[in-house]
Amino acid sequence: MDRHDVVILDKLCHACLVDAARASGATLRVFPHNTLGKLEDHLHWARREHPDARVLVLTESVFSMDGDRAPLAEIVELKAIHGALLLVDEAHALGVIGRNGRGLAAELGVAAGVDIHLGTMSKALGVSGGYIAGSRSLVDLLVNRARPFIYSTAQPPALAAAAEAAVDFLLTDEGERRRLALWQNIRLLAARLPPAPLALPDPLPANTPAIPALLNRAPRKAGGSAIFPWIVGAEHDAVDFSSWLAKMGFFAPAIRYPTVAKNSARLRLTVTARHQPEQIMELGKALAELVRTIH
């Protein structure tokens, strides 16, 4: 993208996507988190005011701090109606969502409608580095023109081999069993997690575009991913609660401004396939005790 183009992104997109959009020089428009009506307004505006521009929509499939999912099928439909491109960051869906952990786009059957697939190897794959997947022409363009790629050091061969082995493992029956074990733990934590002191706002948009599929969207429920935000509000409370849980033997990082909005500090809980049911139930008890001390 360049200064002649338009980038439209979800307000809660990761900082790396925001910084890249700014660095491109393109005109930026931001829509409130998962608010499809505003996304459609921005797409109309882009086509009206910049008829010759490339228009790129950016979203995550699973949002890193709230753990909720993008309405990806509807976004794919909107971008197709308006002739835009779509980049989806699957960092927190890879290895977790969809058969063999192929991500949310694959699970919803809309992978072909995503022009650029982005992800990291530092979550479910357990190594470091990242990937961008798309058409052959896109890959050739990035290899030859993407400055951060050209002027960065290549991965050590051992890390590249480890990442390849992790992907190969996901595609095996044992890898799928591991993923299903993770989902057992996700469901258990969702059932045992007491209500947080503060609730997340309803992500459903007040104004929806005229796409019938949007009218039947269900509200977000906890347990849609391996990430559980337990929102406490004040930054100092989040730090205190995290420290208290650490003494109890639980690692629950405190996330606060500027990573999240002011007064929405939280404990960011992430469950894995290796957690034991007893550990998850004990965490639920510890948080319930914490709630009682608050009140």
CA 100 to chain centre: 18
Asked whether residue 25 falls in the same domain as residue 99, the answer is yes
Per-residue confidence at 294, pLDDT binned at 50, 70, 90?
confident
The token pair that represents 259 in the structure block = 């990573």
One-character DSSP codes across 73-95: HHHHHHHHHTT-EEEEE-TTTTT
Identify whether 262 is part of a domain. Answer: yes
Asked whether residue 15 falls in the same domain as residue 155, the answer is yes
**Mean pLDDT score, 266-294:** 94
How confident is the model at residue 210, as a pLDDT?
37
Residue 277 pLDDT exceeds 60: yes
Average pLDDT of the chain to the nearest whole number: 90
Asked whether residue 277 falls in the same domain as residue 199, the answer is yes
Nearest residue to 269 (alpha-carbon basis) of 236, 237, 234, 238: 238
Asked whether residue 68 falls in the same domain as residue 198, the answer is no
**Mean pLDDT score, 23-47:** 96
Containing structural domain, residue 116: 6-171
Asked whether residue 40 falls in the same domain as residue 117, the answer is yes
Asked whether residue 209 falls in the same domain as residue 269, the answer is yes
Task: For residue 9, list its beta bridge partners.
Answer: 30, 58
Give the tens place of pLDDT for each residue, 80-91. 999 999 999 999
**d(C-alpha 174, C-alpha 117), whole Å:** 25
How confident is the model at residue 221, as a pLDDT?
54
Asked whether residue 187 falls in the same domain as residue 259, the answer is yes
CB 85 within 8 A of CB 93: no
Nearest residue to 65 (alpha-carbon basis) of 275, 256, 242: 256
Give the tens place of pLDDT for each residue, 138-152. 999 999 999 888 999
Asked whether residue 239 falls in the same domain as residue 271, the answer is yes
